[in-house]
Amino acid sequence: MSLIYNNSLIYCSETPFDPNNISTDLSFPLSQLYFCPVCQEPRAIYQTSFEINSKFCNNCLGEYPPHVTHCVKNCFCCPDCQANLSITMSDHDNNGKSFRFNCVNCQYKYTTGIIYKPKSLHGIIDDEKTGNPDSFHQLCKLIIDGVLTNTEDTKKTIDKNIELMLQHSMPQPTKQQQETLESNIKSFPRARKLISKTTHRCSHCNNLVLAYSNDKPSSPIINKFAIKFNAIDYLPTITISNLFNQEKFHELKNWNNTNTFVVMIHFMNPMQVKCSINISVPSSFKVTRDINSKITIPMNQFNLGPTSSNLIKTIPSCFLTSNTPTAKSELILRKGDVMYDPPPSTFEEIEENLDSFVERGVSWCSIPVIINLSSEVKQKLDIGIL
Label residue 298 by pLDDT band (50, 70, 90): confident
Average pLDDT over residues 221-245: 85
Position 147 pLDDT exceeds 70: no
Does the pLDDT value for residue 383 go beyond 60? no
Answer yes or no: is pLDDT of 315 > 80: yes
- As a whole number of angstroms, the distance between CA 158 and CA 169 comes to 19
Q: Are 211 and 197 in contact, with CB atoms under 8 Å apart?
A: no
Q: What is the pTM of this model?
A: 0.68
Instruction: Tell me: pLDDT of 25 over 50.
Output: yes
Determine the average pLDDT of the residues in 299-328.
86
Note the pLDDT of residue 172. 67
Whether 55 contacts 194, CB under 8 Å: yes
Q: Please tell me the predicted confidence (pLDDT) of residue 251.
A: 45
Q: Contact at 8 Å (CB) between 197 and 52?
A: yes
pLDDT of residue 273: 92
To the nearest whole number, what is the mean pLDDT of the chain? Answer: 79
* Residues facing residue 210 across a β-bridge: 200, 228
Calpha distance 363→275 (Å, rounded): 9
| 4 against 332, higher pLDDT | 332
pLDDT at 49 over 90: yes
pLDDT value for 202: 94
Phi/psi class of residue 94: alpha, beta or left (left: φ > 0; alpha: ψ in -120 to 50)?
left
Rounded CA separation 346/381 (Å): 19
**Close Cβ partners of 72 (under 8 Å, ≥ 6 residues apart):** 62, 64, 122, 191
Rounded Cα–Cα distance for residues 69 and 281 (Å):
47
pLDDT for 115 = 87
pLDDT for 7: 63
End-to-end CA distance of the chain: 20
> Above 80 in pLDDT, residue 384?
no
Least confident interval from 46-50, 163-167, 182-186, 201-205: 182-186
Of residues 194 and 95, which shows the higher confidence score?
Answer: 194
- pLDDT tens, 109-118? 999 888 888 8
Q: How confident is the model at residue 306 (pLDDT cuts 50, 70, 90)?
A: very high
> Which tens digit of pLDDT belongs to each residue from 242-274?
876 555 444 444 434 557 778 888 999 999 999
- pLDDT tens across 79-136, in order? 888 899 999 999 888 888 899 999 999 889 999 888 888 888 988 888 888 776 555 6
Around 88, how many Cα atoms within 13 Å sit in the side-chain half-sphere? 8
